[in-house]
Chains A and B, each alone.
Chain A
Amino acid sequence: MNKSLKNSVIPFIIFVVPTLAAFCLGFVYPFIQGLYLSFCQFTTINNANFVGITNYKYLLTDTNFHSAFWYTVQFTLATTVTINIIAFIIALILTKGMKGTNIFRTIFFMPNLIGGIVLGYIWKILIDGLLILMGKPLLALNPTAGFIGLLVLMSWQQIGYMMIIYIAGLQNVSRELIEASEIDGANGWQTLFKVKIPMVMSSITICVFLTLTYSFKLFDQNLALTNGEPNSSTELLALNIYKTFYARTGAHWRGIGQAKAVVFFVVVAVLALIQLGVTRSREVQS
């Protein structure tokens, strides 16, 4: 007993303690402090004054925060649907064994390697150029173009990544299952919906989870592409929080920004858990 305990203690210290310590320092401690600070007014984290739920009360009256919230919800719905459908279709095409498949996979994946801020500025120039040609108001004045721009940018960047996950999933669907369905007389659509999709449900779970949380937390592309213009009408939640925290002068705004971040955390966590529950219940074990 003693020996086996000793045997497990040393590996524990070597393998788990460093990571655990880093996790506590990097995640748990800031998280708890962040939670505490959302009940405070502060300029720096060392001189926080506890003010109770004042900050949360203010959130109820902050119309900018509410509109940013609904905007984020719409944006997340739009991107999650678009990205996953297109990524899945491309994955289907690229698993058919065509010539040049690998080149296409690489090309589709590449946008993912460029940083969000850079992409945002590049797309801003592109979209503004297009809008000038069309004689339409520029991005900074055009909430519709802002929304579509964000959607296009996000899709362009994320589709390649999700495509790779779907390709991996599709390649794992065993040949026998597909052959069996063909022998049973299933057509292409039936094979797709009755065999392939149920078999890649775990990939769908991951992809939907990733796009959902990415979209909800989107910050840099939003900052670079529209910066919330015009009049905060294209401001996503993360940007709204950032602006509350940094663009405002005075100690109370830090607390309010922090409170927004806590609400944000709860929403993202709840959404992700619900989504996981729903899609996982549809997964099939092969």
Chain B
Amino acid sequence: MFKKAILYSMIFGISLSAIGCSSDDEAEIPAGTLGSVYYLNFKPEQDGDWKQLASMYTELTGVRVDVVTAASGEYETTLLSEIGKSEAPTLFQVNGPIGLEGWRDYTYNLAGTPVYQQLKSDDFALIEDGKVCGIAYVLETYGLIYNKELLEKAGYTADDITNFETLKAVTDDIQARKDELGIKGAFASAGLDGSSDWRFKTHLANIPIYYEYENDGIATTEAIKGTYLDNYKAIWDLYITNSTTDPAQLSAKTGNDAVAEFVNGDAIFYQNGTWAYNDIKSIGDENLGILPIYIGVDGEENQGLVTGSENYWCVNQFAAPEDIQATLDFLYWCVTSDEGKDIIAHQMNFVTPFIGFTEEYLPANPLIVAADEYITQGKTSVDWCFSTIPSEEWKNGVGSALKAYSAGLGTWEAVEDAFIDGWESEYKLMNSF
């Protein structure tokens, strides 16, 4: 009988553990009348900088500021569990209109707050029906990062690459002479492991989406037509043929693999953005350049880099009023005080959309300097349209299809299906509840 009891309680216990929810009893620390700030930070790279800023603010005003950073790729999961707690984050992030879907009810209306008034334009705010749900705090840019020294060694400069044809001609030639040049391939591996595939299923896919939106004069859609999918195929084929890596092995290549190839000089081109600077700065600021990603669209000679934001600050409207006030004060201090601006611009290397960040508050990141040059030259920046992608599942579908296609196991039609049909079905699914 006893044995039986043990067994039954084992069944109960084991099956139960699949259903349980975590309980969340943390010691409550009295907040006081000052209120306190709890920032759930998205970017692990800047964790230390935010903590420094927080302790400076606490010293200055006595207001407690806690900064917690979610592990890479775990932001939504962390936010989901943190926000249910009694000491929930007062300040959190969403990644754009689609990310806002899940958190709209939690956002405090920032309209009229001093920090909102610091924004250069409403383009940098997430506004829905007049409610300011979030404000962008960092602008980022991506493109085709290249190693100037190696490109010159191969006999070219960035001026030789002005559209897709020239990009193809240059990289084809480099690939053919790779042994002579002492490299493994023109492009660093287009890894499709989870740590790297967002560069292609999201960032690269953004470009055909952008051109389709431009062509149709829209900003979002419920059904993508795939007008520029042939261009997507062209650039992808280029990435995987003129590569350091056998396409069949791309599914196992990670983000770190690509960084290592680029930093070791095994590859000349590496698609990524301004945020990657810290990973690749060892090749020297003077050797870092960034090119637009050309996909073969008419008039792309005038195309610039891809600039936008997927980092929006949102204030938790269910926080205590004094905590909301403390959070708003903290944010205002961050973007207006000299100390705040200094750390944000020079330590975090952020380009921000706030008016207080004048000339002397521009980061030293050479990729950002290069990005600014494109704007000064009058090139048209490509928008971050991927924040309108209906769901993560869409990206995963495209990523899987790309993997199969690259390894020669799937067809390009499967990628097109994932792109076009996947968009429609995910859009319906997301809006059917």
Contacts and interface: CB of A to CB of B under 8 A. Distances in A.
Contact of A43 (B16, B98, B105, B192): B105
Interface string A25-37: 1110111011101
A213 interface: yes
A46 B82 CA distance: 12
B176 interface: no
A33 to B, nearest CB: 6
A249 B98 contact: yes
Contacts of A31: 16, 19-20
A246 B102 contact: no
B392 A249 contact: yes
B320 interface: no
Nearest to A129: B252
Interface in B3-46: 3, 7, 10-21, 23
Contacts of B76: 246, 249
A84 interface: no
B11 A227 contact: no
B119 to A, nearest CB: 25
B249 A264 contact: no
Given A43-B106, A248-B391, A249-B102, A34 B19 contact: yes
A128 B102 contact: no
Given A209-B7, A249-B98, A265 B16 contact: yes
A138 B249 contact: yes
Interface in A41-64: 41, 43-47
A30 B251 contact: no
Nearest to B408: A137
Contacts, number: 127
Interface in B370-412: 391-393, 397, 400, 403-404, 407, 409
A245 B123 CA distance: 32
B194 interface: yes
Contacts of A246: 76-77, 80
A25 B23 contact: yes
B224 interface: no
Contacts of A137: 248, 407, 409
Interface string A187-215: 00000000000000010011001000100
Contacts of B106: 43
B99 interface: yes
B403 A272 contact: no
A241 B80 CA distance: 16
A205 B192 CA distance: 44
B407 A265 contact: no
Interface in B51-69: none
Contacts of A225: none
Contacts of B193: 140
Nearest to A241: B18
A18 interface: no
Nearest to A231: B400
A232 to B, nearest CB: 9
A118 B184 CA distance: 31
Contact of A248 (B19, B392, B403, B407): B392
A206 B101 CA distance: 47
Q: What are the 4 A-B residue pairs with the smallest beta carbon separation, nearest first?
A: A44-B84, A140-B251, A252-B433, A30-B20
17 contacts: A29-B23, A43-B103, A45-B84, A138-B248, A138-B249, A140-B252, A141-B404, A141-B407, A141-B409, A209-B7, A217-B14, A217-B17, A227-B194, A248-B392, A269-B12, A272-B15, A276-B7
Interface of A: 25-27, 29-31, 33-35, 37, 41, 43-47, 128, 132, 137-141, 202, 205-206, 209, 213, 217, 227, 229-231, 238, 241, 246-252, 258, 261-262, 264-265, 268-269, 272-273, 276
